[in-house]
Amino acid sequence: FLPEPKVLSVDAENIPLDIVYEDEHLLVVNKPKGMVVHPAAGNYNGTLVNALLYHCKDNLSGINGVLRPGIVHRIDKDTSGLLMVAKNDYSHNFLAEQIKEHTFTREYETVAYGNLKQDSGIINAPIARHPVKRKQMSVVQGGREAVTHYRVINRFGDFTHLALRLETGRTHQIRVHLSHIGHPVAGDDVYGPKKVITELGGQCLHAKKIGFVHPRTNEYIEFDSELPEYFEAFLKRCR
C-alpha cells in the first residue's frame, strides 16, 4: 500500500531580517550572504521564507506555492543584497510583470578576476542548463536570451570592481556571463577557477540596487544598499 502523501509545510522561524522598506503590499529585504531564499530538497530551515513566514504571518502571496510564498525573484544563496517580496497575489503579478517586461531595475556590484579591457560593455550571450553538469548553467546557443551591462568602478590589476545592470534575469546570469568572458566572480566555486578564494565564503556579488513601479501607487521607487562587510574587506585587500 502507498504511504500517505506528505503535506508540504514550511515552519515560521524567528530569524532577524534587515528590512529596507515595508508596507501592506510588499517589502524589500536586504538578504545576508549564506542565506537560501526558499526551502528546497535538503534545505527546509533557516531560509528567507522561514523568516518571512514569522515576520509577515499569513500576509504573503501564494502564487509560487507553499515553498515560495511571496517570492517574486531570487538571488543565489551566497549573493547578498536586495530582494522584493510580495504580500498578496495582486502585488505579486504586478511585480512579476515588470520582471518579464525588463522594466525592473536590478543593479549589482562584484569583484571579478583580471583586468577588463573596456571601461563598460554589454554581454549578450544566451544561457541554458549546462549540457553535462546539470546543476550548472552555461552559455548555450539556442538558450534563453541573457543580457548584462557592466561598467568598471575600479581596477586593481589582478581584480576589477564592477557595477552591473541586469536586462534579463536568468539563473546565475552574472556569474555565467563573467566567467564566459574570462573574468569570473572572485570567490565563485562553481564558475570560477579551481583554486577558489575561500575567505569570501562564495561569490563576491551584491544586489545593490532595485527599482520598480509600486503595485498600488503606480510610482517608481528605488532602493540602494551598502556593500556588506565581507565585500568592503575584500576591496580593501585588493587596494
- Are the C-beta atoms of 87 and 24 separated by less than 8 Å? yes
- Pairwise CA distance, residues 50 & 106, whole Å: 24
For residue 162, give the 3-state DSSP assignment: strand
The helix or strand, by DSSP H or E, that contains position 237, with its residue range, turns out to be helix 229-238
The helix (run of H) or strand (run of E) holding residue 153 is strand 147-155
Cα 135 from Cα 109, distance rounded (Å) = 24
The C-alpha atoms of residue 175 and residue 203 are separated, in whole angstroms, by 8
Going 28 to 34 to 35 to 40, the CA torsion angle's sign is: positive
CA neighbours closer than 13 Å in the CB half-sphere of residue 232: 5
Please calculate the CA angle 226-229-230 and round it to the nearest 5 degrees: 120
Length of the chain (residues): 239
Residue 85 and residue 105: Cα distance in Å, rounded? 15
The number of beta carbons lying within 10 Å of the beta carbon of residue 151 is 13
Q: Are 111 and 192 in contact (CB under 8 A)?
A: no
Catalytic hit among 18, 23, 58, 76: 76
Active site residue 76: yes
The catalytic site residues sit at 76
